[in-house]
Structure 1
């Protein structure tokens, strides 16, 4: 449960900090972070060259699709939550918004299921499980680094 909350929060914090520094710097930092993540996951999964060549296009497409879905659907929720209208929201509007949020979560779940199905043809099941752990470890490490920088 913590991971479900942690990943979007990390993405939001990371992207907010980078946007504040400008577009070019954002792109550079994003690419740097992606490179570090690729190295981290490749090492954690101990991917062979053949596995890596097939794995990364599938994984990158998943990440792009997931990002696009979150951008598209979550933006509306964020705006609604930050514009002060939650206090004046009717029960009917809240039910509608909750339904939309559930639909978004279901879409994200379907993306993850597709990723697993696609990866089963590329790497062993054990490495797919290790991928989940590696993603969580990477996000935890990223959060720790953020906290260290923030506390300085």
Structure 2
């Protein structure tokens, strides 16, 4: 019986590891597509690209971390059945968390722009915002298309 529990545990750990590997692989694929798309859309010179990518990747990784950890945590609290049972104190705490996360993301973005202004023309910084929106729209459309075929 003990051996069976150990086997089930190892199987579960293996499955979780596979799922995480798959998620990391998908994230890397998206990152590669984003790199290609942004380089093209922004017409980065090699000098600009060598300075841009380390700064942008650090920003993107931190933003992903914030959204993945914090937003997911409070989104679970906002499920309909939980909202109806939420006290005013809990709602106040949750609202404070949401505001704090939004501010953290805003400050992260503001810092990115400040760092990029040091070497990128401002037009390219504005083009970055548009490229991010276009890329996200394109990615969402591909996801919708893929799901409508299934």
TM-score, structure 1 as length reference: 0.81
Deviation at residue 85 of structure 1 after TM alignment: 2.2
Q: Give structure 1 stretches of 5+ with no counterpart.
A: 1-18
- Aligned residues between the structures: 133
Which has the larger Rg? Answer: 2
Give the alignment's Cα RMSD to 1 decimal. Answer: 1.7
Partner of 1:50: 47
Is 1:113 the counterpart of 2:110? The answer is: yes
Is 1:23 the counterpart of 2:15? The answer is: no
- Return the alpha-carbon distance in structure 1 between the equivalents of residues 144 and 124 of structure 2: 30
Partner of 1:104: 101
Deviations 1:55-105 (CA, angstroms, capped at 9, x unpaired): 000000001111122233213202212484221101221122112101110
Flag the 1:67–1:45 CA change in 2: closer, same or farther, 3 A. Answer: same
- Return the alpha-carbon distance in structure 1 between the equivalents of residues 146 and 130 of structure 2: 24
Q: Give structure 2 stretches of 5+ with no counterpart.
A: 1-15
Deviations 1:79-137 (CA, angstroms, capped at 9, x unpaired): 21248422110122112211210111011100000000000012110000000000000
Runs of 4+ in 1 over 4 A off after TM superposition: none
Partner of 1:60: 57
Deviations 1:2-56 (CA, angstroms, capped at 9, x unpaired): xxxxxxxxxxxxxxxxx9x823222222211110100000000000001000000
Of 127, 132, 151, the match for 2:129: 132
